[in-house]
Amino acid sequence: MALSPSKLIKLGSSFDGFCLKCRQVSKWLPGSLTTLLNMDSLRARQAGDPILRAEAETVDITTIHSPEFKGMVERMFKVMRRAKGHGIAAPQIGVGLRVFAIEFTGQHIKTLKDKGLSDKDIKRMGIALVPPRVFINPELRIIDSTLLAFREACLSVEGFSAVVPRAKEIEITALDREARPVTWRTSGWPARIVQHEVDHLKGNLYIDCMLYKSFMKNDWRDYTRK
């Protein structure tokens, strides 16, 4: 069917309407990201900051290729690596967007071993190397709901840790940093990190689901010495 000029105008206007709508998905448009990235430090926001308790917004996919969005992702990696974290969510750098990054390196394993973990512990925790990955607008599905309880920490609850039960295996569907759809099924430690980061996007921290009596200040032993 041929389209008359008037129909084309109508189609054009509804398309504009659609674009306008998808642009309105998030208030974190490139300009606001620049302002924030110029003023913010390389330290993660800490518990008490309201942005850590707010639900993050869906990313407008047309902004993913902008230099500002890329700058935000770079900032996330910088903050995470500086604090030697295994994962970070955008709200932790002050951006309320549904984005998180994860990375687990040989250096992380070495640090765990230096802290006294054995190869057996590492195997039991399901630790595996994960190259730097970014997940945008993630959807999480639990594959194996068996709960595994291990100690974890958070860059936003600096200096503390607690035992947290998490599902053994998950599947995550999202866009990567090139806006390509990705699905990742994983278990053990990477699955734990993913669940922790997805919680951040809902305004939840591990302290909400930890085994309360396991909560500790990591250097509590220092206070027992004179």
What residues act catalytically? Answer: 197
Which residues make Cβ contacts (< 8 Å) with residue 204, sequence separation at least 6?
none
Residues 6+ positions from 50 with CB-CB distance below 8 Å: none
Half-sphere exposure (CA, 13 Å, Cβ side) for 161? 10
Stretch that binds Co ion, among 9-17, 54-62, 93-101, 148-156 (CB under 5 A): 148-156
Which CB, 45 or 177, lies closer to Co ion?
45
Rounded CA-CA distance 93/84 in Å is 15
In 3D, which of 175, 119, 129, 168 has the Cα closest to residue 145?
Answer: 168
Using the rule CB under 5 A, which residue among 76, 95, 154, 198 binds Co ion?
A: 154
Q: How far is the CB of 45 from Co ion (least distance, A)?
A: 10
Please compute Rg for the chain using Cα positions.
20
Give me the least distance between CB of 3 and Co ion, in Å please.
Answer: 52
Rounded Cα–Cα distance for residues 129 and 151 (Å): 18
210 makes contact with Co ion (CB under 5 A): no
CB of 220 to Co ion, least distance (A): 20
Nearer to Co ion, 72 or 154 (CB): 154
Identify which range of 23-31, 54-62, 152-160, 208-216 contacts Co ion by CB under 5 A.
152-160
**101 vs 154, which CB is nearer to Co ion?**
154
**Residues found near Co ion in the complex (CB under 5 A):** 154
